[in-house]
Amino acid sequence: MISLPHRSIFSRIVVIAIALSVVLVAGLWLLTDRTIRSTLDASARDAVDVDLAGLADIHASGGRDELARRINDRLMIRPIDGSFPHYMLADTSGRRIAGDIDAWPALDAQVSESGVIRIGEATDAFARATQLGPDLRLAVAHEAANAQPLLGRIALVFLAGGAVFVTVIGLFGRSAIGNLQRRIESINRAFRDLDSGHIRLLAEGERTDEIDELAGHSAVALARLRDLMQAYRDTSDQVAHEIRTPVMHLDRRLVKLLAAKPDAATADALVAARADIRHLVGTLESLLDIAASKARRGDRTGLKRIDLSALLERICNLYADSSEESGHSFVWDVAQGVLIEGEEAQLGRLITNLLDNAFKYVPAGGSVTVSLTAGPVLTICDDGPGIPEADRARVFEQFYRSGNVDQGQPGSGLGLALARAIAERHGLALDLVDSSEGACFQLSRRTP
């Protein structure tokens, strides 16, 4: 089972790499845009200073009339780069002698002040003013070259190149991440199935990087775990056999003694002894089942898709007849089509344990209700004596029995412990939930 895209760390890495690539391309474009704009502005400033120095030399060598003539000549020339020059030669009163600037700009010619001035209604230009003589001053302004066509082409190049760059990053990242994902999935598959074939593949793989090293360590740990579980099963089966066999032989001897028709007191003692034997065998089997379920917690091996609705319907129909005989009201409401991954026999035992407890401790005339909704959420409630608040935390412990029930009732206090162990084996949670009367148990998906 491969991780869902929105949960996979590898998919998130690819998304983050693409997002960082987009940010990087956008950042480079902004940097380039600002650099070009500042370069063009600096070029306009340099052009103003060079133009002003040249005009000052013309004035020094040719006088005011020659300067006016040269200014008019320059206004007749339009540079191909679009950085149009503007001039104003004026006397100290501000009267224009030559040039195209209508009014003297707000620049102090005495200190050769520079700054941005407005030409016409919507054009900004960098300008500098200087004093050429006692009654003569000059202002030179240059518009920055029109950068929009160049910046537009650069933006298009960045857009196309950035799209290619981001696509390559995404494809390369997805390819590399896909390889890592398959390698991690092989480790996860071995953990899920504990299959000797998966473990062997992990153990035999080459060791080229950290993930291969992780795979090797995982193979060793899983092999050890598999061997321990197999040893546990073998030991459990052997212990069960060694205890069950002599006990059953003892039971058959008691049957033979009963068949010999002993006196009433002896017969009663033999019957009680047989009941104790059955109780001992039942307790042993329950303990082994609890241990086996806990050992296989989270292990998906052997689970298959079953119809929980159909299973619950069959069990409820079986209990319906016995509930009439015991004088209990038994009602069930089962939503159809509720499916779950699990072992049918184990889930059936969980349900019957809960129902057995309900019918055992609810007096005649009481009621037991069962409901199943999608999720799945299975709820079994009764209106019996319930479970005191002080006992609620311990009710699922082995051998624990609530103090408000008849301790003479048959049982060993293992039913709820086994039910919870089976639930946890299936990744479910079995809880005692609040109810207005009696006891109410709920089986649902375990919260992550």
pLDDT tier for residue 2 given thresholds of 50, 70 and 90: very low
Taking residue 313's Cβ as centre, other Cβ atoms within 10 Å add up to 15
Name the residue with higher pLDDT: 294 or 162. 162
Name the residue with higher pLDDT: 79 or 424. 424
Asked if residue 164 belongs to a domain, the reply is: no
Asked if residue 125 belongs to a domain, the reply is: yes
Residues 143, 30, single domain; the answer is yes
Residues 340, 390, single domain; the answer is yes
Asked if residue 62 belongs to a domain, the reply is: yes
Asked if residue 108 belongs to a domain, the reply is: yes
Spatial separation of the C-alpha atoms in residues 306 and 303, rounded to whole Å:
9
- Mean pLDDT in residue range 395-413: 62
Q: Considering its fold, how many domains does the chain have in total?
A: 3
Amino acid 1: pLDDT: 40
pLDDT tier for residue 73 given thresholds of 50, 70 and 90: confident
Residues 332, 426, single domain; the answer is yes
Name the residue with higher pLDDT: 328 or 233. 328
pLDDT tier for residue 144 given thresholds of 50, 70 and 90: confident
Asked if residue 218 belongs to a domain, the reply is: no
Residues 382, 427, single domain; the answer is yes
Asked if residue 137 belongs to a domain, the reply is: yes
Boundary (domain end) residue, out of 91, 121, 150? 150
* Closest C-alpha to 357, from 420, 308, 424: 420
Q: Tell me the per-residue pLDDT of 280-302, one tens digit each, with 9 for 90 and over.
A: 776 666 666 666 666 666 666 66
Residues 95, 137, single domain; the answer is yes
Residues 428, 311, single domain; the answer is yes
Spatial separation of the C-alpha atoms in residues 346 and 377, rounded to whole Å:
17
pLDDT tier for residue 390 given thresholds of 50, 70 and 90: confident
User: How many distinct helices (H) and strands (E) make up the chain?
Assistant: 8, 12
Residues 33, 144, single domain; the answer is yes
- Mean pLDDT in residue range 364-391: 86
Percent of all residues in the chain with a pLDDT value above 90, rounded to a whole number: 5
The number of C-alpha atoms within 13 Å of 232 and in the hemisphere containing its C-beta is 15
What are the Cα distances from residue 195, in Å, to 147, 203, 210, 237? 68, 12, 23, 21
Boundary (domain end) residue, out of 295, 321, 345? 295
Least confident of 17-31, 60-74, 147-161: 147-161
Least confident of 34-48, 56-70, 84-98: 34-48
Mean per-residue pLDDT over the chain, rounded: 79
Domain holding 137: CATH number?
3.30.450
Spatial separation of the C-alpha atoms in residues 289 and 283, rounded to whole Å:
10
Residues 330, 418, single domain; the answer is yes
Residues 285, 308, single domain; the answer is no
Name the residue with higher pLDDT: 170 or 67. 67
pLDDT tier for residue 3 given thresholds of 50, 70 and 90: very low
Helical ranges in 119-147 per DSSP H: none
For 19, the domain range is 9-150
Q: List CB contacts of 351: < 8 A, sequence separation 6 or more.
A: 311, 312, 315, 378, 380
The number of C-alpha atoms within 13 Å of 64 and in the hemisphere containing its C-beta is 15
Is pTM beyond 0.85? Reply is: no
pLDDT tier for residue 255 given thresholds of 50, 70 and 90: confident
Residues 287, 315, single domain; the answer is no
DSSP β-bridge partners for residue 123: 119
Boundary (domain end) residue, out of 100, 133, 150? 150
Amino acid 253: pLDDT: 82
Per the listing, tokens 């060079």 go with 50
Spatial separation of the C-alpha atoms in residues 261 and 283, rounded to whole Å:
30
Asked if residue 325 belongs to a domain, the reply is: yes
Phi, psi angle pair for 66, to nearest 5°: -60, -40
Asked if residue 172 belongs to a domain, the reply is: no
Residues 39, 116, single domain; the answer is yes
Residues 146, 55, single domain; the answer is yes
